[in-house]
């Protein structure tokens, strides 16, 4: 046994087993007592089968090294990209403390950080696990799409609030004027970029089902932003009965929603392009 994988024939997870017969290696997936034959090693697309690799003995260890080179798998490569992206994001936070004057630098660092995160995702999917590798996210989705959307809404709210300090030259300013006062919320484009990146990543396990994929993104983004723009109004509960408040919520949510959807589509297309480049 070389490790664990997803059988392309029956779709179930099992043990990936190699057998050497007459000098040629054949690939099987074992599900308890049932075996699925996949074919000779050189004809099987291992990147779509193997989920995790394990070392057992000398022969297997050599074989693992061969598989890793064949798949171009490198945990360090993906983790390095992720850590580099995170470092750039933290740097952007540090620079952002200096005020709006450094907005261009913050936007540049966030954009570069986002690109590194996308390359990390594309590398993970393109050379190793594909969409089947999101086992933790898939496990949450299996408990119901509603629960997954609720978790996403919470993340959107947290991400927007946490990234507002990431000032940028491009920002959305929304002001709601009502009888007892007014409230203003400024959201930099960096917040929408990072929110879009988060949603793009969380939606990856749903990419194979267009209906669920679309429903998840639209509902999550719409509810998430609506709550974000409602929060400043909680200090003026009487404002909810005024027409100006409704106009404010519709305008702010619609604009943020539209921009985020455009960015998500761009990120999704870019991921597919990056995956093709990585496979070359």
Q: What is the pTM of this model?
A: 0.71
Mean predicted confidence (pLDDT) in 135-150: 89
Q: Which residue range(s) make up the domain with 43?
A: 3-71
Residues 27 and 156 both lie in one domain:
no
Residues 153 and 230 both lie in one domain:
yes
- Could you give the CA distance from residue 266 to residue 280 in angstroms, rounded to a whole number? 22
Q: What tens digit of pLDDT does each residue of 162-184 get?
A: 999 898 999 999 888 877 778 88
Coil vs helix vs strand at 7 = coil
Residues 51 and 141 both lie in one domain:
no
Q: What is the residue-wise DSSP string for 218-238?
A: HHHHHHHHHHHHHGGGGG-GG
Q: What tens digit of pLDDT does each residue of 36-45 get?
A: 998 888 787 7
Residues 186 and 227 both lie in one domain:
yes
Mean predicted confidence (pLDDT) in 13-29: 83
Dihedral (C-alpha) 69, 75, 78, 83: value to the nearest 10 degrees? -150
């Amino acid at each position: 046994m070389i490790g664990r994988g997803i059988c392309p024939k029956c779709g179930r997870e099992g043990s990936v087993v190699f057998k050497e017969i007459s000098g040629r290696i054949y690939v099987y997936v074992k599900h308890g007592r049932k075996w699925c034959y996949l074919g000779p090693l050189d004809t099987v697309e291992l990147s779509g089968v193997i989920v995790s690799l394990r070392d057992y003995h000398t022969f297997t260890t050599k074989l693992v090294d061969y598989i890793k080179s064949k798949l171009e798998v490198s945990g360090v490569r993906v983790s390095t990209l992720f850590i580099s992206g995170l470092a750039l994001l933290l740097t952007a936070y540090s620079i952002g403390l200096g005020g709006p004057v450094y907005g261009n630098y913050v936007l540049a660092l966030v954009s570069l950080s986002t690109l590194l995160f996308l390359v990390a995702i594309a590398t993970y999917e393109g050379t190793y696990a594909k969409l089947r590798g999101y086992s933790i996210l898939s496990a949450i989705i299996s408990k119901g799409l509603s629960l997954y959307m609720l978790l996403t809404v919470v993340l959107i709210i947290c991400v927007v609030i946490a990234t507002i300090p990431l000032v940028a030259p491009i920002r959305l300013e929304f002001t709601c004027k009502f009888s007892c006062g007014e409230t203003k919320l400024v959201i930099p484009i960096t917040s929408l970029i990072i929110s879009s990146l988060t949603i793009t990543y969380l939606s990856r396990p749903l990419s194979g089902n267009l209906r669920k994929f679309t429903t998840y993104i639209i509902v999550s983004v719409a509810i998430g932003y609506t709550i974000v723009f409602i929060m400043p109004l909680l200090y003026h509960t009487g404002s909810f009965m005024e027409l100006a408040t409704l106009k404010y919520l519709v305008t702010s949510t619609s604009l943020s929603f539209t921009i985020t959807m455009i960015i998500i589509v761009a990120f999704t297309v870019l991921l597919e392009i990056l995956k093709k480049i990585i496979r070359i």
